[in-house]
C-alpha cells in the first residue's frame, strides 16, 4: 500500500507543506504548531491511518484516525487559515489571496477532488515537520 506523505515547515502564522502520493503532488496549508491544542494547532508529526469520509458540514474529506488528543481531523478543500480548525487544506500553489498577510493555497477544490479520486478508501499518511525558528 502506498503512503501519502506530507513534508512541512511550521512558521509562526501557518504551516506550509508539500503532499505527495504516487505521481500526484500539491501544496498543503495548516495552522502553526501550538502544542497540539484543539482547533488552533496543526497536528503532531507522525503516521496516521486515514480513510475517505463524508462530513456533514464539509462533504467529501479525508479523515485521519487516532490523532492524539484530537478529533475530526480532515484533509479538505479551502484556501485560508481562517477556514481551518486543526485540519489540512490542499492546493496547487501558494499565494497571498486575502489581506491577512498569511500564505494561502490556490485552486483547492480541483486539487482536493483530484487527490480524493486518486486515493483508495483507506490508506496511511506520514507527516514530517520542520520548525522555522
Residue 133's pLDDT is 63
The percentage of the chain sitting over the pLDDT mark of 70, rounded to a whole number, equals 98
* pLDDT band for position 132 (cuts 50, 70, 90): confident
Grid coordinates of 1: 500500500
Phi then psi for 50, rounded to 5 degrees? Answer: -145, 160
* 45-93 pLDDT per residue, tens: 999 999 999 999 999 999 999 999 999 999 999 999 999 999 999 999 9
pTM across the whole model: 0.95
Mean pLDDT of the chain: 95
Interior/surface letters 43-72, b for 16+ CB within 10 angstroms, e for the rest: bebeebebeebeeeeeeebbbbeebeebeb
User: Which of residues 2 and 109 earns the better pLDDT score?
Assistant: 109
Residue 1's pLDDT is 55
Amino acid at each position: 500500500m502506498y503512503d501519502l506523505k506530507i513534508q512541512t515547515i511550521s512558521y509562526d502564522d501557518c504551516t506550509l507543506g508539500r503532499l505527495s502520493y504516487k505521481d500526484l503532488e500539491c501544496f498543503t496549508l495548516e495552522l502553526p504548531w501550538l502544542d497540539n491544542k484543539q482547533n488552533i494547532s496543526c497536528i503532531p508529526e507522525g503516521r496516521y491511518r486515514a480513510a475517505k469520509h463524508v462530513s456533514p458540514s464539509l462533504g467529501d474529506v479525508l479523515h485521519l484516525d487516532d490523532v492524539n488528543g484530537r478529533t475530526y481531523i480532515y484533509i479538505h478543500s479551502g484556501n485560508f487559515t481562517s477556514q481551518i480548525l486543526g485540519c489540512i487544506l490542499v492546493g496547487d500553489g501558494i499565494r497571498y489571496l486575502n489581506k491577512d498577510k498569511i500564505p494561502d493555497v490556490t485552486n483547492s477544490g480541483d486539487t482536493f477532488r483530484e487527490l480524493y479520486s486518486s486515493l483508495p478508501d483507506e490508506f496511511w499518511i506520514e507527516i514530517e515537520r520542520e520548525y522555522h525558528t
